[in-house]
Structure 1
Amino acid sequence: MPAQVIEVLKPIHCALCHHGPLLRLVREAGVPQCLDCTGLGHLVYLPRGDVALTRRSREGSSLCAVVLRFNRRRRRYERQGLLVEAEALQRALTRCEADAEARAHRRSRDRARRAAEDVRFTEAFAAEIQRLFPGIPPARARAVAAHTALRGSGRVGRSAAGRALDGGAVTAAVRASVRHHDTEYDALLLAGTPRLEARARLAPVIEAVLTAWRQSDQDPVAERDRR
């Protein structure tokens, strides 16, 4: 397992050699140590971003370390890059330059494939919305599907349940759309209303819209009652 190196957010000196302030350090038993004192000082930094270069550099380096930085807003450590041997990085760069065109072609082909998959999934999601809510306007069903099924969005449509077209996930997507577009929910949040309180206050309104959309305009029972 690669060693973990921390990018420093405040001035800290090495507890062993007193060198500093440090840009990066390793904590052993809670004690900050510089890279030279931990045997990592000869490694070079490779920022994250190029997947092929990172993978090849890591595979070709007999010693490497993961560089982390604490994100105060998210309250977690996040990966910034790697420390690898200079020779391994140079070999990886040479390999990446040699097959750059082939990898670019593969990325383009993969993007096209994912785009086609996204179109099919969005259409299937919209169709399932229409099945569960036959009274919803078709344009609205397509808009909800496009919003919730956006790749990388983290929305319910991209969850495992959403991708399986689970009824609960589809309903959750429609409910979220009604909450944001057909009620004063966003205005309440901007006014300082707690999220759970706002949702509880608007729940009857949202359920009324969902109930109406669950009824088809061509429902034979409804047609018979009207006559």
Structure 2
Amino acid sequence: MAVEPPLVVQPLKGRWCGECRTGPLSMIVMEFHRTYCLDCADLGHLVYLPRGDAALTRRAREASALWAVVVRHNKRRTRYERQGLLVEEAALAVAEAACLADADARARRRERDAARRAAQDVRFMAAFRAEILRLYPDCPAARADEIAAHASVRGSGRVGRSAAGRALDPGAVGAAVRAAVRHVDTEYDALLMQRVPRHQARRRVAPAIEAVLRAWRR
């Protein structure tokens, strides 16, 4: 059966416990539309482990009989994002000792993984560049290099790293080329700096983008 740990929130504004009236609180638990402090929610004995060390987090969670997920609302993305865990202090000590014991082995594994990912990235960037030149034969080689390098950065969230981009879908590759032309070969960025609404700026530079793409398709 899947485990659903308690959820603890780091509030963006000052909140007070609905039971003991302490506050403002750095962490709260919401139950039945009421706010509780960690002590009143029976989580006060747990210690906070910020996110960042995956091995330490996993081991502390596995060693802790009771643990909770800590989240905070991201206004820009309009969603709650995980910040860390609350775990038992003894479990954290066990996890820290285990991480120290195999730190060298994990470091070597990270190095191997990094080398493997780097090799994969080089191959993917070359394939992305080749697809750009297939779709746009007259695109300057240097520009194809720049577009492929920019679009294929791992973890960037750019179109090259989308599922379609990784599959070298022509639509995704074309979108990456179009975006590059928009920013480099038109006045689009200057229009944005002048506070022109994005959709209006895109409409104004669309003819210039199409002119460049037509020239590159020949």
Question: Which range, TM-score by smaller chain?
Answer: over 0.9
What are the Cα deviations for residues 62-107 of structure 1, in whole angstroms up to 9, with x where unaligned? 1101111222333322211100011111111111000000000000
AA partner of residue 65 (structure 1): A
Q: Which one of 195, 198, 210 corresponds to residue 198 of structure 2?
A: 195
Using the TM superposition, name which of 65-74 and 80-89 deviates more: 65-74
Q: Which one of 162, 169, 178 corresponds to residue 172 of structure 2?
A: 169
AA partner of residue 50 (structure 1): D
Aligned residue number for residue 121 of structure 2: 118
Q: Which one of 158, 163, 166 corresponds to residue 160 of structure 1?
A: 163
Q: Which one of 137, 152, 161 corresponds to residue 134 of structure 1?
A: 137
AA partner of residue 44 (structure 1): V
Equivalent-residue separation in structure 2 for 1:206 and 1:9 (angstroms): 43
Aligned residue number for residue 22 of structure 1: 25
Equivalent-residue separation in structure 1 for 2:199 and 2:217 (angstroms): 25
How much does 1:21 deviate? 2.4
User: Number of matched residues?
Assistant: 215
How much does 1:42 deviate? 0.8
Is 1:33 the equivalent of 2:36?
yes
Aligned residue number for residue 54 of structure 1: 57
> What's the secondary structure of 2:202's corresponding residue?
helix
Equivalent-residue separation in structure 1 for 2:184 and 2:20 (angstroms): 61
- Paired-residue identity, %: 65
Aligned residue number for residue 92 of structure 1: 95
Q: Which one of 6, 24, 45 corresponds to residue 9 of structure 2?
A: 6
Equivalent-residue separation in structure 2 for 1:112 and 1:41 (angstroms): 43
Equivalent-residue separation in structure 1 for 2:136 and 2:59 (angstroms): 50
TM norm structure 1? 0.92
Equivalent-residue separation in structure 2 for 1:82 and 1:68 (angstroms): 9
TM norm structure 2? 0.95
* RMSD (Å), alpha carbons: 1.1
Equivalent-residue separation in structure 2 for 1:20 and 1:29 (angstroms): 19
Q: Which one of 14, 29, 47 corresponds to residue 44 of structure 1?
A: 47
Q: Which one of 146, 149, 152 corresponds to residue 146 of structure 1?
A: 149
